[in-house]
Amino acid sequence: MTLVDPTPGNIEITVDDQSIPLVTDPDIKADIAKFRTMLDGYLAGEIDEDVFRVFRLTNGIYGQRQGGENQMIRVRMPYGAITADQLDMLAHLADEYSRGWGHITTRQNIQMHYVQLRKLPEVMQLMGSVGLTTREACGDTIRNVQGCHLAGACPFEVLDISAWAEAANEHFIRNPLGQRLPRKFKINFSGCETDCGQAMFNDAGVIAVTRTREDGTVEAGFRVFVAGGLGANPHAALALEEFTPKEDLLATIESILRVFEQTGNRDNKLRARMKWVVDELGWEETQRRILATRRLLPASATWPGGIPKIVQELGDAPAGLAAGATPTPIGQGVNVLLGAPSGFARWEQANVVRGVAKGTVSAYAWCELGDITSDQFRGIARIIRDFDVDVRVSNRQNFIIRDLEEAQLPQLFARLQELGMAEPGAELTRDVVSCPGADTCSLAVTQSRGLAKAIGERLEEEGLAEVGGIRVNISGCMNSCGQHHIADIGFFGVERRAHGQSAPGCQMLLGGHVGQESIHFGDKAMRLPAKTAADAAARVLRRFVDERAVGQDFRGWMDSVGGAREIAKGLKDLDAFPDPADDPDFFVDYDETGPYVAEVGESECAT
């Protein structure tokens, strides 16, 4: 790569002898110029540490537990949309500025680690040249706007929420209302009650629904849910009203934001989210304030009433269901039975989504632990160009390749095999979700990535990696960046003590579920040594497979056998630490070489 005339806002970029345009988006260009100025002031000692920390977080930059100038940079990826040029650029950045790979988060961002502080303006400039920004991907801001990864390609959807999510992103990014909030604010969209976008645990969650008018006609619109959240104190979102017409949607979300900005706790970040506003004011008063704010919002200069221009241009008509088609079941708890023995047929059965009216299909490309190497970034970019398809990232940390023709599937499978992304496991039990954990995060208590890998390997050994409908999620601490609360089998890292020593441990939760406009948070089962958690997961899953009734989901089976605590009784033998002299491995965390130490740094901002 060549950089010519490296002055702020004016870098000409060439990658592999191909010229890439300068940053043309004036907002991104202004963000980069300001970041460069603030960084120079900070390095010169003219800007206080606390001031610069808040500034860089608002611009998507976290410090790492390794300290020094090591930074994590998070790229905002609204509703998971990504282009071939952007993938190529991420590949280049991974090789030149990070460690050769990036990570998909559970909120459809892509982040990279070990980026050096002084290189950040250069990295942001390169990202900006392909329309990528880190703005408000972190900090007390309106975070990345999520959306169902199958929007516009789902046979069940009421509306294609893609343009609506883009409209929300455009309206709220850099919006003065969202720059110094009491805490972060999260918005997401789902096109149907399956809720692949996970509206039920966000500050403002939107699900497309219909209502029947008095004249018998059907109107499509939305149901808006408020004040959901995970973290140490999970809270189910509450429906603001039965039906929100399209023309009122963005005004409704802005009204929720305004109530949060006005009433959120600015003195205690631990009680500053929208869920704590409801806890303090009560739901009826919170609801009253939101609706009253919306009624008067037309008087505001920021009023986003009516159908957004981008929705009018792109449309929101649902993909529809093809006549006579049997659509692929979608969502948590779906019982996928893999009858094909191996190879392409097995991948096709597990990873392909069918049924939309226009006859195209979608296929998952599996990203182990949500990680993507630079070669995989480039490989997916080539697939986009060669197959003329659309790609998005999912909140299960995979790519979904959309708008495929049936005849393209064998060739796509071969290409994904070459990239190591053709496992028939995306959305099945093999697809273990994990946050970065103590690999880089200052808040993590344990190495969640190592545990996730160990669980995946154990399930492979036991022949359980392709059980359909079961989700396994892991977080390195209680903050639930890995979304352990809504997994069938969830773990979060804890410190254990045995024989007078600290040891890596985890809390197991069972029965989490989100979908059909409802949510169950996992019930606590037991605490375990980290080194026996994989055996515990395999044992529970084996019991489920052997005992479940036909069509019974995990939560239903769990309740039928007495619940999480009863299941835990069969795992008590796994909650035992040997003497360190007999098995020192129990006192060393995954991916570490020395004795375990619970090192928790100062929280910059839990995700």
Q: 452 with 539, same domain?
A: yes
Same domain? 208 vs 232: yes
Residues 82 and 162 in one domain: no
Residue (of 423, 426, 415, 424) closest to 389 by Cα position: 415
What are the b/e assignments for 17-41, b being 16+ CB within 10 Å?
Answer: eeebeebeeeebbebbbebbebbee
Total of domains in the chain: 4
Would 578 be classed as within a structural domain? yes
- In whole angstroms, how far apart are CA 88 and each of 80, 93, 371, 398, 427? 16, 9, 16, 17, 26
Q: Tens digits of per-residue pLDDT, 110-134?
A: 999 999 999 999 999 999 999 999 9
Give the pLDDT band (50/70/90) at residue 10.
Answer: very low
Joined tokens for residue 113 = 């680690």
Predicted confidence at residue 138, as pLDDT, reads: 95
> Taking Cα atoms as reference points, which of 561, 553, 560, 468 lies closest to residue 516?
553
Q: What is the pTM of this model?
A: 0.94
Task: Categorize the per-residue pLDDT at 2 as very low, low, confident or very high, splitting at 50, 70 and 90.
Answer: very low
Average pLDDT over residues 3-9: 42
Residue 309 lies in a domain: yes
For residue 378, being part of any structural domain is answered with yes
Q: Is 521 exposed, middle or buried (0-12, 13-18, 19+ CB in 10 A)?
A: buried
Domain co-membership, 448 together with 530:
yes
Determine the longest span between alpha carbons in the chain, in angstroms.
78
* pLDDT band at residue 430 under the 50/70/90 scheme: confident
CA dist 435 and 452 (Å) reads 9
Domain identity same for 378 and 306: no
pLDDT-derived band at 66 (thresholds 50, 70, 90) equals confident
Q: Of 419, 450, 473, at which residue does a domain stop?
A: 419
Residue 408 lies in a domain: yes
Which residue do the tokens 């999480």 mark? 564
- Percent above pLDDT 90 for the chain: 85
**Token duo for residue 573:** 């033998």
Strand partners, 74: 111
Q: Which of 297, 314, 331 is the last residue of a domain?
A: 314
Q: What is the pLDDT of residue 332?
A: 86
Q: What is the CATH number of the domain that holds 42?
A: 3.30.70
| pLDDT for the residue numbered 438 | 87
Report the distance separating Cα 80 and Cα 78, nearest Å: 5
Is residue 326 in some structural domain? no
Structure-model confidence comparison of residues 439 and 454, the more confident one: 454
Predicted pLDDT of residue 340: 64
Burial of 114 from C-beta contacts in 10 A (0-12 / 13-18 / 19+):
middle
- For the chain, the distance separating the N- and C-terminal CA atoms, rounded to the nearest angstrom, is 32
Same domain for 514 and 559? yes
Residue 11 has pLDDT above 60, yes or no: no
Half-sphere exposure of 551 (CA within 13 A, CB side): 1
Check whether residue 405 and residue 439 sit in a common domain: no
For the cut 90, the answer to whether the pLDDT of residue 597 exceeds it is no
According to DSSP, the β-strands at 146-147 and 110-116 are unpaired
Number of other CB atoms surrounding residue 4 within 10 Å:
10
At 322-360, the pLDDT tens digits run: 999 999 988 887 766 666 677 899 899 889 999 999 999
Q: What is the pLDDT of residues 515-568, one digit of tens each?
A: 999 999 999 999 999 999 999 999 999 999 999 998 899 999 999 999 999 999
Q: Are residues 96 and 163 in the same domain?
A: no
Q: Is residue 144 part of a domain?
A: no
Bridge partners, 459 (sequence order)? none
Residue 563, Cβ density class (10 Å: 0-12 exposed, 13-18 middle, ≥19 buried): middle
Q: Are 322 and 360 spatial neighbours (Cβ–Cβ below 8 Å)?
A: no
How many Å apart are CA 327 and CA 65, to the nearest integer? 46
Q: What is the Cα–Cα distance from 598 to 588, expressed in whole angstroms?
A: 11
Contact 310/167 with Cβ under 8 angstroms? yes
Average pLDDT, the chain: 93
| 284-330 per-position pLDDT tens digit | 999 999 999 999 999 999 899 899 999 999 999 999 999 999 999 88
Asked if the model's pLDDT at residue 106 lies above 90, the reply is yes
CB 556 within 8 A of CB 597: no
| CA Rg value for the chain | 24
The residues with which 206 forms a beta bridge, in sequence order, are: 189, 224
Query: What SS3 class is residue 58?
Result: helix
The confidence score (pLDDT) of residue 22 equals 86
DSSP character for 136?
T
Shared-domain flag, residues 573 and 487: yes
In angstroms, rounded to a whole number, what is the distance separating the alpha carbons of residues 515 and 334?
11
Question: Is residue 324 domain-resident?
Answer: no
Considering 108, 128, 148, which residue would you say is the last residue of a domain? 128
| 3-state SS, one letter per residue, for 424-463 | CCCCECCCCEECCHHHCCCCCCCCHHHHHHHHHHHHHHCC
Mean pLDDT score, 157-165? 98
**pLDDT in the model for residue 603:** 62
- The identity of residue 328, as a single letter, is T
CA dihedral angle for residue 235, residue 79, residue 433, residue 363, rounded to 10 degrees: 140
Nearest by Cα to 138 from 168, 95, 97, 183: 183
Are 529 and 470 in the same domain? yes
pLDDT for 6 equals: 42
Q: Which domain holds residue 392?
A: 343-419
User: Residue-wise over 251-270: b if at least 16 C-beta within 10 A, else e?
Assistant: bbbbbbbbbbbebbbeeebe
- Alpha-carbon distance 398 to 418, whole Å? 17
- Statement to judge: residues 286 and 394 lie in one domain: no
Is the pLDDT confidence value at 1 over 60?
Answer: no
518 φ, ψ (degrees, to nearest 5):
-145, 165
- Name the packing angle between helices 49-58 and 26-43 (round to 10°): 160
Residue 525: CB partners within 8 Å, gap ≥ 6? Answer: 508, 509, 510, 564, 565, 567, 568, 571
What are the backbone dihedrals phi and psi of residue 85, each rounded to the nearest 5 degrees, phi first?
A: -60, -40
305 and 215 within one domain: yes
For residue range 33-48, list pLDDT tens digits in order. Answer: 999 999 999 999 999 9
pLDDT at 9 over 80: no
Domain assignment present for residue 139? The answer is no
Whichever domain contains 539, its CATH number is 3.30.413.10
Confidence bin at 97 (pLDDT 50/70/90): very high
